Amino acid sequence: MELEAAMRTFSPSALMRAVDASPADATFDRASCRELLDCTAAAAGPSVNCDRCRAAMSGIFPTSASTVTKQQLLAALCSWPIEAFDGTSGTRAEARAVNDAAEATAAGTPHFYELDPEQTRANRRKTYAHSPRRRDMRVGGGGGSKEVSFAMWTPSSEKWAAGPRGVYLLFHGGGWVFGDAAGQNDTRLDAMCDELGLVVLVPDYRKAPEHPFPAALEDCEAAAAWVETNVAAEFCTENLIIGGDCRPAPRILHLSPRTLNPTKPYTLNCTLNPIH
């Protein structure tokens, strides 16, 4: 009960910082975690929803005698992959070195919010890596339907001789202001396409502030409607996955009841990156 009471008032970020500050070989049991919670409660401020942390705590303490390592506790509380601890994704010192180098390179250059949107877009596009496998296609535009532009990846016919397993309609991120269908994620989508056997379609959509809401949503709806109507005829599959990174996540949730046929099954993969 004391643990539950503390869980209702503590600050999750304060707890994680406290765990992270402990020695590398530290272990934790229920009593030591309760002690940490008590120490962080003072920094909690307003009550916060700690359902995920409560669930994480319950999951890693199957018995009252259980103990967990610092790595296990952080992985459970933060949803960090094991690569964050075993060195395969680099050390913290290496990560800091990369960040420091990036900051040094950017020193003296204007922040993106000091530029007009098109200048920022142009700067971001300088970092793009364009894939020779990507095809750019334009559909619709006839009979009153809205024209939609897509970047498209198709899986290797050698590896997936029976044809694609499905179509992944991916809405790119960029805060409704930046980003492009082509170039922004080409390297990742090359790999995704071949590893999963999926046709990947990334539509372009109009951006703010030149095209205020709901312009982007209208374009995404048009893209989803075209893919839903044509997925079987164009790609020889009826499996449709819809996803996106960053800001498109709520757009996907809006699309599902508004645009898509409610009698058909779909997989919604809301985010590849967090919503800010």
- 149 and 230 co-located in one domain: yes
pLDDT per residue of the chain (276 residues) written in tens, 0 to 9:
344 444 444 555 666 677 777 887 888 887 777 666 665 554 444 444 455 555 556 666 666 667 888 877 777 766 666 666 666 666 777 778 888 888 888 788 888 778 899 999 998 898 899 999 999 999 986 555 688 999 999 999 899 999 999 999 999 988 889 999 999 889 989 999 999 999 999 999 999 999 998 898 888 888 988 998 899 999 998 888 888 777 655 555 555 545 555 556 555 554 444 433
- 157 and 227 co-located in one domain: yes
* Measured distance CA(176)–CA(178) in Å, rounded: 6
228 found inside a domain: yes
- 267 and 133 co-located in one domain: yes
> What pLDDT is recorded for position 47?
47
- 137 and 265 co-located in one domain: yes
> What pLDDT is recorded for position 1?
37
241 found inside a domain: yes
- 96 and 134 co-located in one domain: no
Domain count of the fold of the chain = 2
Report pTM.
Answer: 0.62
- 157 and 258 co-located in one domain: yes
The CATH number of residue 199's host domain is 3.40.50.1820
What residue numbers bound the domain in which 267 lies? Answer: 129-271
